[in-house]
Chain A
Amino acid sequence: MMLPDPASTGLARVRKIEGSALGLRTPAFAPEEGAGDLLEVSLGPHHPSTHGVFRMDVVLDGERIVRLKPVFGYLHRNHEKLGEGTSYLGSMPYTDRLDYLNSMTNNWAYAIAVEKLAGIAVTERAEYIRVILAELSRLLNHTCLAGFLMQDCGCSGTPLMYAFREREKILDLFESLSGSRMMCNFQRFGGCRVDPSAEWLAATRKLVDGYGAFLDEFEALLSGNEIVMARTQGVGRLPAALAVNAGVTGPMLRASGVGHDLRKVDGYGVYPRFNFRVPIGREGDVYDRYMVRMLEMRESISILDQALRGLPGGPILDPKSKQRGLRPKAGEAYGRIEGPKGEIGFFLVSDGTGNPTRYRVRAPSFVNLTILEDLCLGHSVADAVIILGSIDIVLGEVDR
């Protein structure tokens, strides 16, 4: 880009705008020295669009982002350190509060790590119940995310209202099973805590059968919506190579066209028994990330249908498994599952005592957040808000 010589024209600040007449969506923008004054803006930690107490230090040239520094730690609650001072079972309720939208999947990942460490087998019925609860969690998370993303786009109210209407239905199931709406504390080493009753299974069946109709309604409202498409397509493109190099996982990685799903790759639990597809995107933009989640929910419904159909009888907890006073042999284990936000894993090191000596959480939204600057550069502030919304972060997990 050439600047006119100020001496010859007398216009020091005029700059040529390439691309469309509006000057929007022109990634060919490069700030130049002296082209304009840079403005530093601190978005957060109290900001409605930051999904919690998260701060972005943004340097702007006009409306465009030239530098972005994420600042976190506003919700650092010493999760890992507390885990080292607590018994193995005592950490289970703390995992609820990591990603507080999906306590069921957090519980499961932690239970897998401890089961690996202590060599505990899981009963078959419990594996099916875990799959059912994890997929319900995925429905809940993706529905809420779509609602929040639309809120960020400026579609204030309706989609979020619809999303929370469905969330309440799933939370009713969680509550009647575990006693708590959000903090379920449900999984145990070798199984789960409560055996679902026939009524509970019937209620779940009813929800699963009706969820497709809700998704149809939701997608009719949003997926083909012209404003949503104009706002999200081509925004925040994540190239597949960058996503892989940065360790991005979950729907974000799949939206960039990489077919990596731990349910297929690891085949943990009883997932290999179910027939489901892994949706992947092509562009890796905000719209693809939204769309991948929508398609994933359709697959979740299919998995739920198969799991409810094939739920075997038997005990929910291995009678030989031990919950309290668990003292695994010295060693280490890493347990991971495909959470709704990506790979959630727990790394535990045991020295033979009742507490882990090292307790580490691999939080998907923390890792996914690291590429925020790459996604936002060259876009406007309003786009940064929806890019952040499409990453799907929960600060309880980012800061731990």
Chain B
Amino acid sequence: MSEAPAEASVPGPLSAEERDELRRHGILLTSVQELYNWGRSHSVWPLNFGLACCAIEMIAASMARFDIARFGSEVFRPSPRQADLIIVSGTVTKKMAPHVVRLWNQMPEPKYCIAMGACAISGGPFKQGYNVLKGIDRFIPVDVYIPGCPPRPEALLHGLVQLQEKIRQQPLRGPDAPRHLRSDLPCDATVPELGAEDIEPPFSPEIWKPPTLVRPDKA
């Protein structure tokens, strides 16, 4: 629960205990921001998009036993225009990376990304391969990382709950406002292309910086 800054002329925000006390008397106090975030955090529509092994566990999460519908995300949308969340579920190869980024660009804001599984996070067991992208976070801003190979459906549900928590914490104004409410941030991610030797660019500089390697004896 984020709280608006107190101003001089209005009384300060109520504490959580005071609001609980009021709720017991049948009075519900909320802010537009809280109501808005509460609503959208409980109806995150994922893109119906599977890449590899993890996609099977993603399907399993939407089936009867794990039942992702309990968290409001059972509406898997085939079109990126109708989706709020892309679950990058599996190995992203360099041939596939432009398509994944293009799908991301086609999704309307506010949008979120979950990197599901070791491959989507870093390339996983296939990291040595010349054809495997070493993490989708080189092109798309990732909100939640779910480790595992593949992660269990429960892990995906936990990731989704973490994302919901993140959505509920998002202020609508100020420097921490989400991307779509800020004009100073680019709205499109860079779409890579297959170049002569590698995809170009190999990563999107606005989103990802290569780690600076420092030798231990020079540190």
Are B52 and A45 in contact, with the CB atoms below 8 A?
Answer: no
B91 proximal to A (CB < 8 A): yes
Among residues of A, the one whose C-beta sits closest to the C-beta of B119 is A77
Interface size grouping (class) on chain B: 20 to 34
Q: Which of A3-23 contact B (CB under 8 A)?
A: none
**A94-B126 Cα distance, complex, nearest whole Å:** 9
Q: Which of A116-173 contact B (CB under 8 A)?
A: 160-161, 164-165, 167-168
**A181-B54 Cα distance, complex, nearest whole Å:** 12
Among residues of A, the one whose C-beta sits closest to the C-beta of B97 is A74
Interface SS, B side: loop
A35 proximal to B (CB < 8 A): no
Q: Which of A73-99 contact B (CB under 8 A)?
A: 73-78, 81-82, 85, 93-94, 97
Selected from B95, B99, B150, B152, the residue in CB contact (under 8 A) with A73 is B95
A160-B63 CB under 8 A given contacts A75-B91, A78-B131, A81-B129: yes
Q: Which residues of B contact A48 (CB under 8 A)?
A: 48, 78
Are B60 and A167 in contact, with the CB atoms below 8 A?
Answer: yes
A182-B56 CB under 8 A given contacts A77-B131, A161-B63: yes
A342 proximal to B (CB < 8 A): no
Are B96 and A183 in contact, with the CB atoms below 8 A?
Answer: no
Selected from B65, B78, B95, B126, the residue in CB contact (under 8 A) with A82 is B126
Query: How many residues from A make CB contacts under 8 Å with B?
Result: 31
Are B103 and A74 in contact, with the CB atoms below 8 A?
Answer: no
Q: Which of B37-83 contact A (CB under 8 A)?
A: 48-53, 55-57, 59-60, 63-65, 78
A101 proximal to B (CB < 8 A): yes
Q: Which of B115-130 contact A (CB under 8 A)?
A: 125-126, 128-130
**A53-B50 Cα distance, complex, nearest whole Å:** 8
Are B125 and A93 in contact, with the CB atoms below 8 A?
Answer: yes
Q: Which residues of B contact A324 (CB under 8 A)?
A: none
Q: Which residues of B contact A25 (CB under 8 A)?
A: none
Are A46 and B65 in contact, with the CB atoms below 8 A?
Answer: no
A52 proximal to B (CB < 8 A): yes
Q: Which residues of A contact B49 (CB under 8 A)?
A: 46
Q: Which of A302-360 contact B (CB under 8 A)?
A: none
Q: Which residues of B contact A181 (CB under 8 A)?
A: 57, 152
A190 proximal to B (CB < 8 A): no
Which residue, of A45, A46, A74, A94, has the highest number of chain B Cβ atoms within 10 A? A46
Q: Which of A30-54 contact B (CB under 8 A)?
A: 45-48, 52-53
Interface SS, A side: loop
Question: How distant is B102 from chain A, measured CB to nearest CB, in Å?
Answer: 9
**A182-B125 Cα distance, complex, nearest whole Å:** 15
Are A77 and B129 in contact, with the CB atoms below 8 A?
Answer: yes
B167 proximal to A (CB < 8 A): no
B190 proximal to A (CB < 8 A): no
Are B130 and A78 in contact, with the CB atoms below 8 A?
Answer: yes
Are A52 and B51 in contact, with the CB atoms below 8 A?
Answer: yes
A-B contact pairs, 15 of them (CB 8 A): A46-B49, A46-B103, A52-B51, A52-B55, A53-B51, A73-B93, A73-B95, A74-B96, A77-B91, A77-B126, A78-B129, A82-B126, A164-B60, A168-B63, A396-B52
Residues of chain B whose beta carbon lies under 8 Å from any beta carbon of chain A: 48-53, 55-57, 59-60, 63-65, 78, 90-91, 93, 95-96, 99, 103, 125-126, 128-132, 149-150, 152
